[in-house]
């Protein structure tokens, strides 16, 4: 999410999200280190300045599922701002070395009340995340697991965002990718090998995503015999 340097009111959103102050603290996270854990008190919001994180939930029987990937420029833990603060419903974990601004609940609420420009900025983020969640649901309901994998890889490479895409995605296991698209690790392995043979991705220690993978999502250019679900054509 792009941050405007300064708004007409004189409030510098970029500076607010970049520097520590009263109620705000910059924290460095190592890979696999948690921002917060499911069941913790929801007492703060994090703004990811650098790196990537993933949001996971664990069921009552101990099964873990990945909800989404958090990129730099996004908030995580925004449920803290609910009228009645409760417990965390998910766990946020750093994928790679990350830097985040920890904003206390009280400071976040105060800033939103005092600075309409910041409240507007945060509202736009919430709407964007809501639209992303809706797109994820539609993807899960109507697309094959192969196409869902292509979409996840493109999102992680940040294709479609302003500027050059990441191309190299952060280290992520096939088990995690399988959790995110609702299939098995063996199917993910099969799809990844097929993407590599088709020239959509390269793999040499890290996954490199090529623009040609967009054809899978936008033009549905995959052999039909390997599709797990039939294409649905909307009028």
User: Is the pLDDT assigned to residue 79 strictly greater than 70?
Assistant: yes
Say which range, 32-41, 111-120, 127-136, 163-172, has the weakest mean pLDDT.
Answer: 163-172
User: Is the pLDDT assigned to residue 164 strictly greater than 70?
Assistant: no
- Provide long-range contacts, Cβ within 8 A and 24+ apart, for 89-92: 89/38, 89/57, 90/38, 90/55, 90/56, 90/57, 91/34, 91/36, 91/37, 91/38, 91/55, 91/56, 91/57, 91/58, 92/34, 92/35, 92/36, 92/46, 92/53, 92/54, 92/55
User: Is the pLDDT assigned to residue 162 strictly greater than 60?
Assistant: no
Task: Say how many C-beta atoms besides its own lie within 10 A of residue 125's C-beta.
Answer: 16
Q: Quick one: average pLDDT of 48-67?
A: 90
Output the CA angle 113-116-118, nearest 5 degrees: 95
Give the pair of three-digit tokens for residue 174: 């096939």
d(CA 199, CA 7): 44
d(CA 16, CA 123): 16
80 and 43 in contact (C-beta within 8 Å)?
yes
- Name the residue with tokens 């007492």: 43
Could you give the 3-state DSSP secondary structure of residue 20?
coil
d(CA 129, CA 99): 20
User: Is the pLDDT assigned to residue 232 strictly greater than 50?
Assistant: no
In 3D, which of 54, 51, 11 has the Cα closest to residue 27? 51
- Name the residue with tokens 């479609």: 160
Domains in the chain (CATH in brackets) are 13-136 (2.60.120.10), 143-226 (1.10.10.10)
Whole-number pLDDT of residue 203 = 85
């Amino acid at each position: 999410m792009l941050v405007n340097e300064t708004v007409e009111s004189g409030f510098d959103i970029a500076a607010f999200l970049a520097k520590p102050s009263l109620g705000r603290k910059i924290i460095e996270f190592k890979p696999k280190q948690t921002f917060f854990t499911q069941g913790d008190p929801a007492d703060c919001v994090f703004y990811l300045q650098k790196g990537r994180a993933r949001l996971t939930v664990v069921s009552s029987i101990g099964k873990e599922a990945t909800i989404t990937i958090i990129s730099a420029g996004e908030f995580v833990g925004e449920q803290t701002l609910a009228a009645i603060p409760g417990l965390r419903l998910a766990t946020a974990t750093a994928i790679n070395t990350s830097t985040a601004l920890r904003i206390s609940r009280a400071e976040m609420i105060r800033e939103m009340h005092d600075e309409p420009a910041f409240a507007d900025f945060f509202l736009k983020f919430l709407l964007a995340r809501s639209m992303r969640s809706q797109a994820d649901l539609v993807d899960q309901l109507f697309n094959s697991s192969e196409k869902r994998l292509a979409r996840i890889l493109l999102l992680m490479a940040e294709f479609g965002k302003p500027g050059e895409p990441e191309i190299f995605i952060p280290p992520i296991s096939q088990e995690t990718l399988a959790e995110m698209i609702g299939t098995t690790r063996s199917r993910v392995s099969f799809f990844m090998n097929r993407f590599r043979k088709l020239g959509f991705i390269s793999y040499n220690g890290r996954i490199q995503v090529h623009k040609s993978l967009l054809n899978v999502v936008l033009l549905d250019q995959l052999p039909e015999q390997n599709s797990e679900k039939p294409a649905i054509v909307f009028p």
